[in-house]
Amino acid sequence: MEVKLHDIGEGMHEADITHFFVKPGDRVKADDPIVEVQTDKMTAEIPAPRAGIIKEITVEAGQTISVGTTVIIIEEDSPNQTVDVSTSSKTSNGVQTIQIPAPTSIETSSKKKRILASPYTRKLAREKGIDIELVHGTGPAGRITDEDVANFAIVDTSEIESLNNTSLEKAVQPESEKPKTQIVQNVIPYRGRRKQIGKKMQQSLYTVPHCTHFEEVDVTELIALREQLKKDGVNISATAFFIKALSLSLKEFPIFNARLHDEKEEIHLIHDHHVGLATDTEDGLVVPIIRNVEQKSLKQIHADMKELTGKAIENTLTATDVTGGTFTISNVGPLGGSIGATPIINHPEVGLMAFHKTKKMPIVNDKDEIVIRSMMNVSMSFDHRVVDGATAVKFTSYFAKLIGNPTFMLLEMI
């Protein structure tokens, strides 16, 4: 049987081979992980479709392959046990007895026990040179966590004892005897998620005529409302309010929740609001999707956002978690982004809105009084093939109105 790379995500065309869990000759069971791949959105394990023996690995780790490429060939186990007739003998009564070799124990074969750990945890162990099978898992059902790997250490005393005085003297060589100049070249491989993100951004920038509109949003009343809710024991993040206000804005301006089909010369308006949340992780940018925001309460949005962000950081997002988005947001305020940006649209979506750092500023109100207000800049990038600038201004102004007056937003939710 040929195990091929299949489409594990919307619009996926290729993936990078990051790690093999098996080698030729290993025996695997159905659903055992055999290879780990990296797309622009997620890290995923490809399981064995059936039990058998790994006959051949046709690609190499680090290689970029397209969907449909054969990765591994599995040879199905023979259903019948081979009998060695040379071990047969006859008893005194003429009855022939045959000694059948005992089946090879799975414990003594090259196939090791199944380890419960996320792809990111496995990668962490590989980078630290740790055999993950030696790590004791403290998570649910013995699952190995990132902390378990970080706390694990192996000391090879035989290597320490083999150090002689000469090597020790070299190890503590005086600074004055060391070379005065050291040239260090650090090469970062351009592959895996970084490469996939690059291709995605390049496709979007070359396909979509980007235009970015900037808006100032007064979040003073929203901050006051959140503080009041905290006193009442309800903690809802500001981003949850932003997402809900965005959904109400998409309802008012459905053209931003759409997709352009160039070949058909059609713009399809999408009813459901599946909002992508751009999330920064150690392996790069990922965009988990909060689904059907238009049907959810602020509490539900906050809970979904917290769960998906956690999965993104732990690198445990599934294909369902990262596909099917209709609009994307990027909250760069906590990172210190306070002025503005020109975000690249998550193609084939029509728009992307970025929220920047909130700052207290002196503002002149309607009474010509100088007051201190909490202000946040918003960057709104949109596909100028689908939407005109005037519509984008109306869209962001409506969003700013909802955020600036949370009571009005709550009325729109009724």
d(CA 101, CA 244): 67
Name the band, by pLDDT with cuts 50, 70 and 90, for residue 176.
Answer: low
Paired residues of 376 in beta bridges: 217, 358
User: Which pLDDT score, from 0 to 100, does residue 384 have?
Assistant: 96
Specify whether the backbone of 413 is left (phi greater than 0), alpha (psi in -120 to 50) or beta: alpha
d(CA 311, CA 281): 10
**Residues identified as active-site:** 384
**Percentage of residues in the chain having pLDDT higher than 70:** 80
User: Which pLDDT score, from 0 to 100, does residue 290 have?
Assistant: 97
d(CA 331, CA 239): 7
Domains of the chain: 197-413 (3.30.559.10)
Name the band, by pLDDT with cuts 50, 70 and 90, for residue 108.
Answer: very low
Q: Read off the pLDDT of each residue in 92-113 and give the average, rounded to a whole number.
A: 40
What digits encode the pLDDT tens for the residues 346-379? 999 999 999 999 999 999 988 999 999 999 999 9
- Residue 281 CA: distances (Å) to CA of 44, 89, 125, 303: 16, 66, 17, 19
Going by C-alpha positions, the residue among 354, 401, 414 that lies closest to residue 381 is 354
d(CA 380, CA 52): 53
The sign of the torsion formed by the CA atoms of 193, 343, 275, 351 equals negative
